[in-house]
């Protein structure tokens, strides 16, 4: 099993969450994985994205502020 690099983003805008959600199938087909945590009372959602080492979040989601953790 290939090792995955984790990235996170803190999102509250519906349009950004929708962009991430829309890419879910493509990310999984590429060997990656997405997790969404329940929103906080301020409406923030921690999104974690795991990708194979040769991929980067900007390959899928240019606008979403993922950073490596």
Three-state secondary structure call for residue 40: coil
Separation of alpha carbons 59 and 56, rounded Å: 5
Q: Which is nearer to another protein, 1 or 69 (CB)?
A: 69
Q: How far is the CB of 38 from another protein (least distance, A)?
A: 6
Q: Which is nearer to another protein, 12 or 54 (CB)?
A: 12
Q: How far is the CB of 25 from another protein (least distance, A)?
A: 12
Task: For the beta carbon of residue 9, count every other beta carbon within 10 angstroms.
Answer: 18
Task: For the beta carbon of residue 43, count every other beta carbon within 10 angstroms.
Answer: 11
Q: Name the residues that contact another protein, by CB under 8 A.
A: 6, 8-14, 16-18, 21, 35-44, 46-48, 58, 64-65, 67-69
Q: How far is the CB of 31 from another protein (least distance, A)?
A: 17
Separation of alpha carbons 48 and 38, rounded Å: 12
């Amino acid at each position: 099993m290939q090792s995955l690099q984790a990235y996170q983003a803190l999102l509250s805008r519906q349009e950004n969450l929708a962009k991430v959600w829309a890419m879910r199938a493509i990310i999984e087909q590429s060997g990656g994985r997405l997790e969404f945590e329940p929103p906080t009372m301020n409406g923030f959602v921690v999104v974690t994205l795991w990708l194979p080492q040769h991929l980067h979040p900007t390959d899928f989601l240019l606008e979403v502020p993922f950073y490596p953790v």
